């Protein structure tokens, strides 16, 4: 039986009509996402997705297939595991240890917190890491009579850089891994070493800037006062739950390394291990699910369907032909695509951009005469690092700004740009330069 | 708590800080102290013996070469109180290691046990947790008798997991209504604990502290923060291991019913 659609009923059911309507839906949805002052991005994406089904651009079955289950499973699974770790107080202990180690020295604080944030962000969602680190950082810096804002911005920048390192570190990487068919190990081999060097250079840049701006001068030197500040930290934890959470988290990471050997997708592993942890920890699932970012998941769901409409109508195939006309070899493509991704990700949400570009790269891979793998890595580096350009460039930035404002330390758009832009420019140039070197000098 | 025998179990070495505490307990409760030593060097045994004799406490020194035999000895002796030394480790280290004392707790049922931190040389303040669901009248009265006989400062405490109920209620009720229901739940919670205490203490009026938060985290945190020397919990409390491992102070696990 032929699938009847509303568009068909009004005489717009032809393929060429669907082609342009899917583009209109895509542009409309993205416009609403960009105009976040007027529309919340989640209902905007959901409206775009459901409108695509409603109008018959995609069938309900087609919409379901368009949702990348691996991405969704990976996000849900990791969010559950992280939720248990937060509940256990693991992050409170880490920050307490970091505070004891730094002993109130601003230089040590910035170095320790950015390093800790970058490492955590490589294995956890950036938003989660920021949600956890920022309140602690605000509490410490304000007690030490330091201005919290530069420290917050530095931590957010480190989070976005650290998140670039692995398959699970940042949502764009999850999308790239899943749609590009890359394993956890592929990211470790191709991206992680570049990110480590980039992070070191990025850290040097923002610490240098903070030093010049006078933000690294010690304000509290009294030992007794420092001791009081450390003891004032509320450290609630549950060692038993933490042990279970870390065991499961550790096994999950090991399985990620082996997922191509096991012929299991990362999403399957994450969701399976999350279920094991929930059962083993005996924590109330309602409590655990409270920390799962359902709004982010819904955002993904809507976007996948909108983009599924484009894919279904053959738009990406045409886009790939256009891109192939501009990018004629992978080496120049690294710089063009990486630079473009960084710029666009800096001004709009990097998730929808990555999703759309991934489909273009999939179709480009089918038609191009060269290996498109370097372009995927350029996209990952550009999309993730570009998020540091402005305060709206990545979800973690927005979350951090919200937290800071709530605590009485609003971050102005230009304050962020002052620190974010130089770091972004340097890190993007370094990262893409290293990727370019990797393929031109080493050829792999 | 009708203590007849207090066993002080030590392995490989004697913790003389803890011995001070045990002597004090045995003396205040007027009970016989059994020093159960496993693989302890002679000179340490002699030193311990001498210290106990100085206090004029009725005691017995028992030696075992094997820890398994010592456990059998405890089961046969059926003491009313077993005191062991709890290794002091940081929470981070605790994630990767369960102490031998914590493992030992699992071997005994229906026995009052105190895990004394390595550096504990006196007990001056005790926090007694009254769990709404599992704390029995027997536990409350024996814990009360114990602290009264020791003559130390003590507080009864309970924790209402407000944020958990609040989040659940907010899913099904408007905020204001949820808050009202929560107030009612807290009142009912407090009333239940109050009734339990009143029954156990035969009507004696006792004030108790009400904390808000996950009990297995909130109560150990409060005990640490307020620098109590000992936290007492009942044997059948849910997540017993968590209370022990989260405390970083000495913990006593007292039974919920009269022993055989």
Contact between B167 and A290 (Cβ < 8 Å): yes
Contact criterion met (CB < 8 Å) for B246 and A290: no
pLDDT bracket for residue A294 (50, 70, 90): confident
Using a CB-CB cut-off of 8 Å, the residues of chain B touching A93 are: 91-92
Contact between A381 and A435 (Cβ < 8 Å): yes
pLDDT at A188: 94
Give the CA distances from residue A124 to residues A13, A64, A107, B112, in Å, rounded to whole numbers and listed in that order: 44, 27, 25, 43
pLDDT tens digits for range A299-357: 889 988 998 888 888 887 777 778 777 888 888 889 989 998 999 888 777 787 888 88
Segment B152-180 shows an average pLDDT of: 91
Nearest Cα of chain A lies from the Cα of B118 at a distance, in angstroms, of 19
Q: Domains along chain B?
A: 1-119 (3.40.50.620), 123-260 (3.40.50.620)
**Is a pLDDT exceeding 50 seen at residue B191?**
yes
Q: How many CB atoms lie within 10 A of CB A443?
A: 6
Residue with tokens 């001056």: B124
Interface of A with B in 273-312 (CB under 8 A): 284, 286-287, 290
Backbone angles phi, psi at B56, to 5 degrees: 60, 45
Whole-structure pTM value: 0.80
Q: How many CB atoms lie within 10 A of CB B54?
A: 9
pLDDT at B260: 55
**Is a pLDDT exceeding 60 seen at residue A385?**
yes
pLDDT at B71: 86
∠ CA A375-A198-A154, nearest 5°, is 120
**Is a pLDDT exceeding 90 seen at residue A433?**
yes
Task: Tell me what the pLDDT averaged over chain B comes to.
Answer: 91
**Is a pLDDT exceeding 60 seen at residue A39?**
yes
Using a CB-CB cut-off of 8 Å, the residues of chain A touching B159 are: none
pLDDT tens digits for range A217-255: 877 777 777 777 777 777 889 999 999 999 999 999 899
Query: Which residue has better confidence, B76 or A114?
Result: A114
pLDDT at A1: 46
pLDDT at B55: 82
pLDDT tens digits for range A121-152: 998 878 778 877 887 888 788 878 889 999 99
Residue with tokens 């229901």: B181
Contact criterion met (CB < 8 Å) for B94 and A241: no
Under DSSP, is residue A321 helix (H, G, I), strand (E, B) or coil? helix
Chain B residues contacting A via beta carbons under 8 Å: 91-92, 94-96, 164, 167-168, 213-214, 216-218, 221, 239, 241-242, 245-246
Interface of A with B in 73-92 (CB under 8 A): 89
**Is a pLDDT exceeding 50 seen at residue B66?**
yes
> CA nearest A284 in B: which residue?
B164
pLDDT tens digits for range A54-94: 988 888 998 998 888 888 898 899 889 988 988 898 888 88
Strand segments, DSSP code E, in chain B are 5-11, 32-38, 59-64, 81-86, 112-117, 125-129, 153-160, 208-212, 230-234, 250-254
Query: Which residue has better confidence, A223 or A361?
Result: A361
Using a CB-CB cut-off of 8 Å, the residues of chain A touching B214 are: 236, 238
Mutate which of B212, B213, B239, B246 to disrupt the A interface (most A C-beta within 10 Å)? B246
Contact between A59 and A51 (Cβ < 8 Å): no
pLDDT at A444: 64
Task: Tell me what the pLDDT averaged over chain A comes to.
Answer: 87
**Is a pLDDT exceeding 90 seen at residue B75?**
no
* CB environment A90-129: b (16+ within 10 A), e (fewer): bbbbbbbbbbeebebbbeebbebbbbbbbebbbbbbbbbb
Query: Which residue has better confidence, B134 or B2?
Result: B134
pLDDT tens digits for range B47-63: 999 999 888 889 999 88
> CA nearest B97 in A: which residue?
A243
């Amino acid at each position: 039986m032929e699938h009847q659609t509303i568009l068909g009923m009004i005489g717009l059911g032809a393929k060429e009509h669907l082609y342009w309507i899917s583009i209109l839906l895509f542009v409309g949805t993205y416009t609403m996402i960009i105009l976040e002052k007027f529309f919340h991005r989640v209902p905007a994406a959901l409206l775009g997705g459901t409108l695509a089904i409603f109008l018959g651009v995609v069938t309900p079955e087609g919409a379901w297939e368009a949702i990348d289950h691996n991405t969704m499973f990976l996000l849900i699974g990791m969010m559950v595991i992280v939720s248990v770790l937060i509940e256990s107080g693991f992050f409170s202990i880490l920050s307490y240890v970091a505070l004891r180690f730094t002993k109130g020295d601003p230089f040590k604080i910035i170095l320790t917190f950015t390093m800790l944030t970058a490492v955590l962000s490589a294995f956890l969602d950036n938003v989660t890491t920021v949600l956890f680190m920022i309140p602690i950082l605000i509490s410490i810096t304000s007690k030490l009579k330091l201005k919290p804002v530069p420290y917050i911005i530095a931590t957010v920048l480190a989070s976005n850089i650290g998140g670039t390192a692995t398959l699970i570190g940042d949502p764009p990487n999850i999308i790239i891994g899943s749609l590009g068919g890359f394993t956890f190990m592929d990211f470790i081999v191709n991206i992680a070493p570049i990110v480590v060097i980039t992070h070191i250079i990025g850290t040097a840049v923002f610490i240098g800037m903070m030093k010049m701006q006078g933000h690294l001068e010690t304000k509290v030197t009294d030992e007794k006062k420092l001791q009081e500040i450390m003891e004032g930290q509320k450290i609630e934890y549950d060692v038993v739950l933490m042990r279970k959470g870390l065991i499961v988290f550790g096994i999950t990471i090991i399985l990620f390394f082996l997922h191509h050997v096991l012929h299991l997708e990362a999403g399957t592993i994450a969701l399976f291990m999350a279920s094991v942890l929930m059962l083993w920890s005996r924590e109330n699932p309602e409590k655990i699910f409270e920390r799962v970012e359902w709004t982010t998941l819904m955002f993904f769901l809507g976007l996948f369907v909108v983009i599924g409409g484009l894919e279904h109508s053959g738009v990406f195939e045409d886009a790939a032909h256009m891109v192939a006309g501009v990018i004629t070899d992978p080496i120049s493509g690294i710089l063009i695509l990486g630079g473009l991704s960084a710029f666009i990700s800096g001004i709009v949400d990097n998730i929808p951009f990555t999703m759309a570009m991934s489909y273009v790269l999939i179709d480009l891979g089918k038609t191009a005469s060269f290996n498109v793998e370097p372009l995927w890595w350029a996209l990952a580096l550009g999309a993730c690092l570009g998020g540091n350009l402005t305060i709206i460039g990545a979800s973690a930035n927005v979350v951090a700004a919200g937290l800071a404002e709530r605590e009485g330390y609003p971050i102005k758009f230009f304050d962020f740009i002052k620190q974010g832009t130089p770091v972004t420019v340097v890190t993007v140039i370094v990262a893409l330069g290293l990727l370019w070197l990797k393929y031109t000098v080493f050829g792999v | 708590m009708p203590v007849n025998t207090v066993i002080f179990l030590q392995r490989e070495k004697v913790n003389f800080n803890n011995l001070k505490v045990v002597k004090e307990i045995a003396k205040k409760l007027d009970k016989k102290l059994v020093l159960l030593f496993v693989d302890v060097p002679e000179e340490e045994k002699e030193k311990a013996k001498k210290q106990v004799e100085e206090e004029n406490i009725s005691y017995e020194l028992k030696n075992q070469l094997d820890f398994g035999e010592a456990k059998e000895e405890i089961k046969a002796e059926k003491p009313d109180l077993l005191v062991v030394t709890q290794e002091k480790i940081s929470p981070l280290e605790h994630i990767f290691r369960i102490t031998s004392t914590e493992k030992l707790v699992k071997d005994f049922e229906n026995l009052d046990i105190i895990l004394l931190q390595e550096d504990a040389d006196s007990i001056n303040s005790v926090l007694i947790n009254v769990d709404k669901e599992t704390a029995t009248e027997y536990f409350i009265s024996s814990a009360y008798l114990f602290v009264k006989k020791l003559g130390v400062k003590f507080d009864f405490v309970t924790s209402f997991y407000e944020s958990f109920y609040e989040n659940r209620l907010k899913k099904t009720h408007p905020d204001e209504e949820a808050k009202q229901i929560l107030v009612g739940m807290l009142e009912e919670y407090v009333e239940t604990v109050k009734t339990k205490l009143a029954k156990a203490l035969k009507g004696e009026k006792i004030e108790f502290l009400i904390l808000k938060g996950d009990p297995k985290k909130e109560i150990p945190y409060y005990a640490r923060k307020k620098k109590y020397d000992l936290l007492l919990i009942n044997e059948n409390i849910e997540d017993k291991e968590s209370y022990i491992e989260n405390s970083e102070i000495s913990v006593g696990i007292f039974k919920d019913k009269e022993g055989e």
